[in-house]
Amino acid sequence: MPKKYHITAQVMPPRFAPVPKYSMIEKEGCLGCLQCAKRECVYDVYKNRKFDPEQMIDSIDYLCKNCLRCIQGCKNQIISKMCNPDYQALGDEYWKPALISSLWDQATSGKIPVSGAGYRGPFSGPGFDSMWTDMSEIVRPTRDGIHGREYISTSVDIGRKLAQLDFGPRGELLSVAPPLVEIPVPFIFDKLPFGVMNENVRTGLVRAAEIVGTMLVIPQSDIDWKLMAHIDNIIPLITALTPIREHDAASRPQTGESLLGEIIARARMIELEDGPDVAKQMAAVKGINPSVVTCIRMPASKTVAGRVEELTRSGAEVIHIIADWQGEETCDPAETGHAAPSPRFIKEVLREVHLNLIDKALRDEVTIIAGGGIAMAEHVAKAIICGADLVGVDMALEVALECRMCKRCLHGLSCPVTIEAVDSEWAALRIRNLICSWHSQLIEVLGAMGIREVRRLRGEVGRALFFEDLEKEAFGDVRIAPDTYYSTR
């Protein structure tokens, strides 16, 4: 058995105080009681209270754990709380405030978010919230999740896989195994749809990818000689292949002279944008470096399932399907710039792609990476259940660096948390913490499902429960309330 994969997390404090959910309010009128309710604070919030003149923030709002004892104990009732509008303004309808603040906590501590007193969210919702993962009760092999003695593997192989092996007349192996890249976690870091991605951030992300053993997609134009030292953890996204196409694909260009040639020659994996001549580009890349794994990157669109099938038939090794940052289908490649009419969620797109490949007996030959809208650890498991082999993480990484998803950068405005100025090492360790937490959470759900390795989770819809099915099964025989019901209430 290989060495057990483990990420060691360490607290990495945020640069800015987290945006608290509530704000304390205190009216005038303190009576100066000797037995003040504030002194009885179980969490010593008032004792450790500080004012930060830099950020104009009173620590009380984020230290407080909302037990309400001071509010209910103050003799003149001068203390109260209210919702913090800054918190409610975080993110958007997909990247909800609670999600962002949970990601911040995970990046700070590296721990699984744990809380008491049951689930507090909505019953179900759109997208990934309309499915649950299963567990198995008594009849499966033993496993103990993250505290376990048994090994639950989270590693995945990226690349094309042979459907069968061919042997010669004397039993010698004729098949040539295509190159594979194995990473210990089922996610890669993707380039960001928006947000700050300068040298500091990029260096931090590459460093984090190195620590946890995964890879980061970087557009070729952003790769310099300094980054070449970390090429094992970089997936170059090649957009301009013209310098190579001038040569005959078979004759290798002079590497070492051009950076691009060097990138292709030394990379373990390369991404290419989908397009009419993508097959030619793949061949050109393979011509330079036959051991590189090529990945075709394409937006999630109405026609994606057919295109994936076509590419798989023509020998594609890996296909990276990208939804937008809220996990929705973007647009047809033909009519770029327009949102797809009634866009599907990545979950539906993946199920279609996956089932179509199964129908055509092609599924095991190609690796599918799903990206866009992966915002929580549960999304990793759910995307894989819906048919991806692994996922690409993007904005969640930026949120680990305290991004508030305010989208000011989209309008060319400054970043309120100056992500451009982060220290690379700090960024790397925050992201390591986030990944540590996600990895642990993934093991928790895999353990509960009775699945010992994430490879077996792919397309395992039998280990998931879907809202539509459950509603129908449980309440199908319950009639719908008539309109008169609402008018009488």
Partner 1 sequence: MSESPQTLTIQQDSYAHLRGREAMDTPSRFRNRVSKYRVFRSSACTACNKCAELCPYGVHVRSGDRMLRPREAFCIGLACRSNDFYCISQCPEKALSMALNPLFETMGDARWSADMILATWVMAETGDVPSGGLEYEFGRSGGGFDKLAFDFPKKPAISLDEEEIDLSVELNRSGDEAERISIDIPVYGGGMSFGSVSEHTILGRCIAARNWNTFTCTGEGGYIESIVPFAKHVITQVATGLFGVREETIQRARIIEFKYAQGAKPGLGGHLLGDKVTPQVARMREAVAGSSLFSPFPFHSVYSVEDHKKHVDWIKAITPRSLISVKVSTPTDVDMVAVGSYYAGAHIVHIDGSYGGTGAAPDIAKKNIAMPIEYAIPKVHKFLREEGVRDRIVLVASGGLRNPWDIAKAIALGADAVVIGTAEMVALECIRCANCESGRGCARGIATTDPELTELIQVDYAARRLSNLYLAWSKELKRILKRLGMRSIRELVGRTDCLMRLRS
For 25, residues 6+ apart whose C-beta sits below 8 A from its C-beta are 79, 80, 81, 82
Q: Is 450 in the site for partner 1 (CB under 8 A)?
A: yes
List the interface residues with partner 1, window 146-175 (CB under 8 A): 147
Residue of the chain from 231, 445, 454, 457 that contacts partner 1 (CB under 8 A): 445
Nearer Cβ to partner 1 (3/479)? 479
Q: Is 475 in the site for partner 1 (CB under 8 A)?
A: yes
Q: Is 226 in the site for partner 1 (CB under 8 A)?
A: no
Residue of the chain from 59, 124, 155, 255 that contacts partner 1 (CB under 8 A): 124
Following DSSP, what letter does each residue of 378-432 receive, concatenated?
Answer: HHHHHHHHTT-SEEEE-HHHHHHTT-----GGGGTPPPTT-GGG--HHHHHHHHH
Q: Is 113 in the site for partner 1 (CB under 8 A)?
A: yes
Q: Is 485 in the site for partner 1 (CB under 8 A)?
A: yes
In this chain, which stretch among 71-79, 161-169, 226-234, 299-307 interacts with partner 1, using CB under 8 A? 71-79
Cβ(326)–Cβ(94) below 8 Å = yes
Nearer Cβ to partner 1 (106/326)? 106
Q: Is 376 in the site for partner 1 (CB under 8 A)?
A: yes
Give the start-end residues of each E strand in 39-99: 51-52, 57-58, 79-83
Residue of the chain from 11, 83, 173, 421 that contacts partner 1 (CB under 8 A): 83
- Rounded to whole angstroms, how far apart are CA atoms 85 and 97? 11
Residue of the chain from 4, 65, 360, 408 that contacts partner 1 (CB under 8 A): 65
Nearer Cβ to partner 1 (174/481)? 481
Q: At what angle do helices 424-449 and 97-109 cross, to 10 degrees?
A: 110
**Residue in 371, 347, 273, 362 with CA at minimum distance from that of residue 309:** 362
Q: Is 27 in the site for partner 1 (CB under 8 A)?
A: no
What does the DSSP 8-state code read for residue 35? S
Nearer Cβ to partner 1 (428/443)? 443
Q: Is 120 in the site for partner 1 (CB under 8 A)?
A: yes
Residue of the chain from 26, 58, 86, 134 that contacts partner 1 (CB under 8 A): 134
Q: How far is the CB of 293 from partner 1 (least distance, A)?
A: 31
Residue of the chain from 1, 56, 139, 174 that contacts partner 1 (CB under 8 A): 139
Q: How many residues does the chain have?
A: 489
Q: Is 34 in the site for partner 1 (CB under 8 A)?
A: no
Buried b (16+ CB within 10 A) or exposed e, 129-166: bbbebbeeeeeeeebeeeeeeeebbbbbebbbeeeeee
Q: Which helix (H) or strand (E) holds 91?
A: none
